[in-house]
Amino acid sequence: MASKDGRIDLHIHSTASDGTLTPQEILAAAKDLELRAIAITDHDTVDGTLNALESGIPEGLEFVPGVEISADIPSPFPSGGSLHILGYFIDPQEPELERALKVLQDARADRNPKIIRKLQSLGMDVTLAEAEEISGGGQVGRPHIAQALVKKGFVNTTREAFDYYLAKDQAAYVGKYRLSAQRAVELILKSGGLPVCAHPFSLEFSPDVLFDFLSQLKDWGLPGLEVYYPQHNPDMVARYFEMAQKLDLLITGGSDYHGASKPDIQMGTGKGDLFVPLELYDRLLAYHKETEAQAGCFEIPPGKDLGLLEEALGYNFKTPELLLEAMCHSSYVNEHPDCTWTHNERLEFLGDAVLNLAVSDMLMSKYSENREGDLSRLRASLVNEGQLAEIARSLGIGQHLLLGKGEARGRGWDKNSILADSLEAVFGGIYSDSGYADAFKVIKNLIAPLIPEEVAVAAAQDYKTRLQEYAQSKLRITPSYELIREFGPDHEKTFVAQATVNKEFTSQGKGRSKKAAEQDAAREVLILLGQEDPS
To the question of whether residue 424 is assigned a binding role by annotation, the answer is yes
CB 15 within 8 A of CB 135: yes
Angle between helix 128-135 and 142-151 (nearest 10): 110
Amino acid identity for residue 269 in this structure: T
CB 522 within 8 A of CB 497: no
β-pair type (505-511, 494-501): antiparallel
Chain-centre distance of CA 187, in angstroms?
A: 12
Amino acid identity for residue 174 in this structure: V
Amino acid identity for residue 97 in this structure: L
CB 525 within 8 A of CB 503: no
Exactly one of 407, 424, 518, 520 is catalytic; which is it?
Answer: 424
To the question of whether residue 492 is assigned a binding role by annotation, the answer is no
**Residue 385 designated active-site:** no
Return left, alpha or beta for 86; rule: phi > 0 is left, psi -120 to 50 is alpha, else beta: beta
Q: Residue 108 belongs to what H/E stretch?
A: helix 95-121
How does DSSP assign 183-213, residue by residue?
HHHHHHHHTT-EEEE--GGGG---HHHHHHH
- 3 state DSSP class of 513: coil
SS3 content of the chain, % helix, strand, coil (to 5): 55, 15, 35
How far apart (Å, rounded) are the C-alpha atoms in residues 167 and 231?
18
**Residue 352 designated active-site:** yes
To the question of whether residue 290 is assigned a binding role by annotation, the answer is no
- Give burial (CB, 10 Å; 0-12/13-18/19+) of 306: middle
Backbone angles phi, psi at 532, to 5 degrees: -150, 140
Q: What is the 3-state secondary structure (H, E, C) of 316-337?
A: CCCCHHHHHHHCECHHHHHHCC
Return left, alpha or beta for 530; rule: phi > 0 is left, psi -120 to 50 is alpha, else beta: left
Exactly one of 130, 352, 518, 524 is catalytic; which is it?
Answer: 352
CB 40 within 8 A of CB 67: no
Return contacts of 268-272, CB within 8 angstroms, 24+ apart.
Answer: 268/3, 268/7, 268/8, 268/9, 268/30, 268/33, 268/35, 269/3, 269/7, 270/229, 270/230, 271/230
Residues marked active site are found at: 352, 424
Binding residues for Mg(2+): 348, 421, 424
